[in-house]
Structure 1
Amino acid sequence: MGDFLHLKLPQVSSAQAAEIVGVGYEGFRSYLKRGLLGRVGMLPGFHRPGGDAHDDPAPRQKWRRFGFIDLCLMRTAKLLIDAGVSFEDANSVVSKPEMWKRMARDREPVDRYVLASPACGIHMIFDRDDIRHLPDRLAEARAHGAFTLVPLGDVQRYVVEMLAREVV
């Protein structure tokens, strides 16, 4: 069995990450300062006994290197925002631990989907096994107005392609 996809790919600088995500550098830094991805995929901080146990809710704002999973989730958030989903709702979708965990187990891009419909409170991930439920959830979301469907496999393939360009 091959390596996990995210372990085979390089990390990139903030400027390169902004380009891959599809926002300007200042916009990218603004997303991070606002807490994009929160602490998803990170271990809790270590604190000395009796010390302040507060973990920074926006730790990525200090980061200078970004990996595959971060880039995929940030690109997904950007696509949701471009479709009219608020930053807060987009961030709540991509900051879910189950989304990070699913991508961390991928050995290649996986065709899964995120359905976001803030009007009816739907933020669902559809894997291969769940795809049979997608038409019903789409009908439900359509009945409540606007919704956005993001093909995560396409996002993963895009990020892999962009990372390959960065390495060459």
Structure 2
Amino acid sequence: MRQLGTLTAAFAAGTLLLTVGLTACTSAPPASRPSTDALIKAATRHLTDACLTRRGLTPPRPGRRPPPSAEQQRVSDALFGAGRTELSVRLPTGYLVRGHTDGCLAAAQQRLYGDQRRWFRTSAIVNNLRPEAAHTHSSLAEVRHRHRAELADWRRLRAHALKSAKTVLAARTHSSPKGTAHP
């Protein structure tokens, strides 16, 4: 009889542990979703890395020993573009922002945002709203109100980029051989 009590106690303890374990496994909080910024950044990196690789260049990585300066220049030119800048926008602060349309980053932006020229102009303006407010001695709310068209365009372009980023990242995941990790 004593043996039966011990077995029952052991069974009860085992059942309790199994129940607690299953409950812990099923009631864990859901994994957090990557932010819009993180998804777009990952897709941009994937697209720029692929572009550099197609050009026979090694994508830069933090922590790696930098290549010789001539190689660094080739990577920089391929990534950001070279020669005369094709894009420019003068900000209300007086600063002139310029960019290229021929680099791997420009190609990634074109792919993700659908219109690299519009993204360049809109993001330059939206990313400089605080400096404009300080420069014009206006509140940020006033500056945002003045640039509501650019803010709406920025939101539309970001929504397009998010959708494109998900497509790019899904294609990358489905096309990789098993066991291959992506940077």
Both structures adopt the same fold (TM-score exceeding 0.5) = no
**Highest RCO, 1 vs 2 (Cα 8 Å, sep ≥ 6):** 1
TM-score (structure 2 length as normaliser): 0.28
Select the structure of larger CA radius of gyration: 2
